[in-house]
Structure 1
Amino acid sequence: MDRSPGRRAWWLRSPWGRAAAAAFAGALPALAFPAPSWWWLAYAALVPWLLLVRSAPTYGRAALDGWLGGAGFILAVHHWLLPSLHVFILVLALLLGALWAPWGLLVRALLGGAPGAGRGAAALVLVPSGWLMVELVRSWEYLGGPWGLLGASQWQLPPALRLASVGGVWLVSLLIVAVNTALAELLARPAVRLPAVAGLLVCALGATAAWYWAPVPRPAGTVRIAVVQPGLTGTPTERLARSEALTRSLAGRGVRLVVWGESSLYRDPVDRPDLAARLAALSRRTGAELLINADAPRNGGPGIYKSAVLIGPDGPTGDRYAKMRLVPFGEYIPLRSVLGWATKVGKAATTDRIRGAHQVVMPVAAAHGLRIGPLVCFETAFPDMSRHLTRDGAQVLVAQSSTSTFQGSWAPLQHASLGALRAAETWRPMVHATLTGVSAVYGPRGERIGEQLGTDRSAAAVYDLPLAEGTSPYVRYGDWAVYTAVGALVLAGAYAGVRALSGRPAPARR
């Protein structure tokens, strides 16, 4: 299927046409995520991009195809930020897209020309490993965090969730890219059909083995919790009144924990005795403790924290957690002295929030000491945070979120879907409570529990949440899939270096 330059399509001969094709090919995998949720597309969505990069006439062009494809991917999975960041989202997409330039070089080196069976087999390991390095680097919180990891597109597929319990979302990403690489080899070079088919069989057998033989959590009873979603209610005062009314409606229903969304209060009840008394009265009336979220200064001091605060029948219990990982530009501006101009072209944060110091596990007395691990909004995207809470003894993961700025976009549903992965990875049920939707609850295997509250709902929902015991392989062994990918790339680099030093020619390419 290789074509000489003279026979290539005009849009491949034109630098601008090829650039547009790379950006479009990079954006294609975004359709596998919610809201479209075409999860099956993920297993072939990278093929056009891989074929384009492997056909690059030079390594420089391959790096550019990787860069522009990466920019297209970032722009597609973050397109809902456009109303907030305006033109700055294009700048961010180009900056983060550069992370895929080395991946483009790797694809060109392994799949370009006429690879033999050895190079074809190596590509099945190294191309997914290179992709995972891109996901790992861009997952750094200061670069935007792990939003849109390819493995996260499989949140509703039980076999993929079982695989996540073994190696986290990283292992799912590796499998998806390996399948795409094998398909690209089959289309581009029928001569490497044997390793490509073998790669597909290994992926299928690995997923099947995880489904049938991976350990599963042990049931450990249930606890009744409730999520309060006030909806778009206008002012903070109106939101509080609606949240109180919905919480009062839960009286007599046996609820032990009521969860409100992120920024449900703009005053800290610890500093406002009148507000603390109102919330304590709600706790007494419902027989449940309340987990609220205050977007406010703490202890009367300067600076604003986003704090999860547990309220009991006597008021604040003293258990609180301040959000540690903040949203770049949404809650603070990195290098504000240089990038502060972003506030003039979009809705970037005018005031930087202050980071919390450490994660917290809270006992809920009303639920016989049930231990919950709070996360705030963006933090549900980070696998390490939920794993850390589980290791510290959390029995339930509780996320408080607010996506009211992005109503009508793909963001609320995509954010809610992350709860399924975190639950499957840790064997701990996950409660995802928002102000305006989407709110959802997931069991210890990542299965959805009860009804999902969409962005059109203002309601309180009650869930009988299944608890579980045991330690998942991912919690026990951590990011072994990432370390394996790093090891494979290091060994491949060492092999190439030894060949270069020994003076042996590289394998011939036809």
Structure 2
Amino acid sequence: MSATSQGTASEWMWRYPECRLLISAVGTALAFPPISVWWLLFGMPALWLRVLQDTPRRQRIWYAFIWGTVFITAQSWWALPTLSQQAQVEWVAGVAWVVCIVWYASWCVLFGWLVRYLPNEGIGWTVGVALSWVGISWLRSLGNWGFPWAMMSLPLARYPLFLQPAELGGIWLVELLLMLWNALLAQAIQPRQWLAFLTPTAVLILWIGSSNWLLWQARLSTPTATVRVAAIQPEYEG
């Protein structure tokens, strides 16, 4: 590919926010099983957040809905065989899948509505985005209709280095750090200056450094005796 065509593709992507939305949604979905390219979590959501930041306030809800719909569709397609097995009727499984998609996208709409009222830049926007996302993720996990599927931090479950802050604030602190990183990265994308990336890099270094310290403390306090743990899932029917 020539330099001219590469430049044209880049300009086309930045000119049309819908293109960035699709890339961000699909890329974020690829971080989840069964593909599990987990490191995409440290960049793909930032493209979406940058679109929301650059978009007029009245359009943020719409772009949040588009992102949520594309993301959850790409992330949950593998669940269709399970839904079909449980429902025993294919069209019922399809309806259930659509309901799940609309349900998740509705929470993204709420997120887009909250982002409308945040400052357009600075620390207020960054922290507001992270707190809004974590608050909405917490709300959708509550009650009988709680459905915390596709939390951003879930693909990090196999990597203890990133999960150690959960000892201090649960999975919600990990979710907050991940969205804080992406919000900072979103603000650094557009200027395209190396200095703009110092803040998100510092946050990531602090995250990994504190995780290393917590892991080291955990190894020091590891009991020598064998500990047996029983896990029970009463709602499962074999």
TM-score range normalised by the length of the shorter chain: 0.7 to 0.9
State which of 105, 127, 130 in structure 1 corresponds to 2:129.
127
Is the alpha carbon distance of 1:191 and 1:86 closer, same or farther for their aligned partners in structure 2, counting shifts above 3 Å? same
Question: Retained in 1: the 8 A contact 2:13–2:20?
Answer: no
1:185 aligns with 2:187: yes
Is the alpha carbon distance of 1:133 and 1:26 closer, same or farther for their aligned partners in structure 2, counting shifts above 3 Å? farther
Give 1:372's aligned residue. Answer: 230
Count residues with an aligned counterpart.
215
Matches within 5 A, 1:144-183: 144-183=146-185
Question: Retained in 2: the 8 A contact 1:178–1:203?
Answer: no
Give 1:62's aligned residue. Answer: 60
Give 1:93's aligned residue. Answer: 101
Higher relative contact order (CA 8 A, sep 6+): 2
Question: Retained in 2: the 8 A contact 1:99–1:134?
Answer: yes
Gaps of 5+ in 1: 1-7, 224-369, 378-400, 403-434, 436-510
Give 2:88's aligned residue. Answer: none
State the one-letter code of the partner of 2:134.
L
What is the DSSP-based 3-state SS (H/G/I as helix, E as strand, rest coil) of the residue aligned with 1:86? helix
State the one-letter code of the partner of 1:172.
V
State the one-letter code of the partner of 2:183.
T
What is the CA distance between 1:41 and its match in structure 2?
Answer: 1.1
Percent identity between the aligned chains? 25
Q: TM-score when scaled to structure 1?
A: 0.37
Give 2:213's aligned residue. Answer: 212
1:102 aligns with 2:102: no
Is the alpha carbon distance of 1:123 and 1:39 closer, same or farther for their aligned partners in structure 2, counting shifts above 3 Å? same
Query: Structure 1: how far apart are the matches of 2:75 and 2:222?
Result: 36
What is the CA distance between 1:130 and its match in structure 2?
Answer: 0.9
Matches within 5 A, 1:216-255: 216=218, 217-222=221-226
Query: Structure 2: how far apart are the matches of 1:181 and 1:374?
Result: 38
State the one-letter code of the partner of 2:27.
L
Question: Retained in 2: the 8 A contact 1:68–1:94?
Answer: no
What is the CA distance between 1:164 and its match in structure 2?
Answer: 2.2
Query: Structure 2: how far apart are the matches of 1:170 and 1:191?
Result: 31
What is the CA distance between 1:143 and its match in structure 2?
Answer: 3.4
Question: Retained in 2: the 8 A contact 1:128–1:174?
Answer: yes
Query: Structure 2: how far apart are the matches of 1:102 and 1:35?
Result: 28
Give 1:201's aligned residue. Answer: 202
Matches within 5 A, 1:461-500: none
Query: Structure 1: how far apart are the matches of 2:24 and 2:163?
Result: 27
Of structures 1 and 2, the larger Rg is shown by 1
What is the DSSP-based 3-state SS (H/G/I as helix, E as strand, rest coil) of the residue aligned with 2:178? helix
State which of 139, 142, 166 in structure 1 corresponds to 2:141.
139
Give 2:80's aligned residue. Answer: 82
Give 2:5's aligned residue. Answer: none
What is the CA distance between 1:106 and its match in structure 2?
Answer: 4.3
Is the alpha carbon distance of 1:10 and 1:169 closer, same or farther for their aligned partners in structure 2, counting shifts above 3 Å? closer
Question: Retained in 1: the 8 A contact 2:46–2:186?
Answer: yes
Query: Structure 2: how far apart are the matches of 1:69 and 1:187?
Result: 19
Give 1:29's aligned residue. Answer: 28
State the one-letter code of the partner of 2:30.
L
What is the DSSP-based 3-state SS (H/G/I as helix, E as strand, rest coil) of the residue aligned with 2:29? helix
Gaps of 5+ in 2: 1-10, 85-92
Q: Runs of 4+ in structure 1 displaced over 6 angstroms?
A: 10-13
What is the CA distance between 1:212 and its match in structure 2?
Answer: 1.1
| Deviation sequence 1:434-481 (CA, Å, 0-9, x none) | x7xxxxxxxxxxxxxxxxxxxxxxxxxxxxxxxxxxxxxxxxxxxxxx
RMSD: 3.3
What is the DSSP-based 3-state SS (H/G/I as helix, E as strand, rest coil) of the residue aligned with 1:78? helix
Is the alpha carbon distance of 1:202 and 1:110 closer, same or farther for their aligned partners in structure 2, counting shifts above 3 Å? same
Query: Structure 2: how far apart are the matches of 1:107 and 1:171?
Result: 20
Question: Retained in 2: the 8 A contact 1:103–1:131?
Answer: yes
Is the alpha carbon distance of 1:144 and 1:76 closer, same or farther for their aligned partners in structure 2, counting shifts above 3 Å? farther
Query: Structure 1: how far apart are the matches of 2:73 and 2:105?
Result: 9
What is the CA distance between 1:109 and its match in structure 2?
Answer: 5.1
What is the CA distance between 1:24 and its match in structure 2?
Answer: 5.2
Question: Retained in 1: the 8 A contact 2:141–2:147?
Answer: yes
What is the CA distance between 1:65 and its match in structure 2?
Answer: 0.7
Query: Structure 2: how far apart are the matches of 1:102 and 1:193?
Result: 33
Query: Structure 2: how far apart are the matches of 1:106 and 1:207?
Result: 30
Question: Retained in 2: the 8 A contact 1:163–1:207?
Answer: no
1:40 aligns with 2:36: no
Give 1:366's aligned residue. Answer: none
Query: Structure 2: how far apart are the matches of 1:82 and 1:12?
Result: 35
State the one-letter code of the partner of 1:31.
L
Question: Retained in 2: the 8 A contact 1:24–1:69?
Answer: no
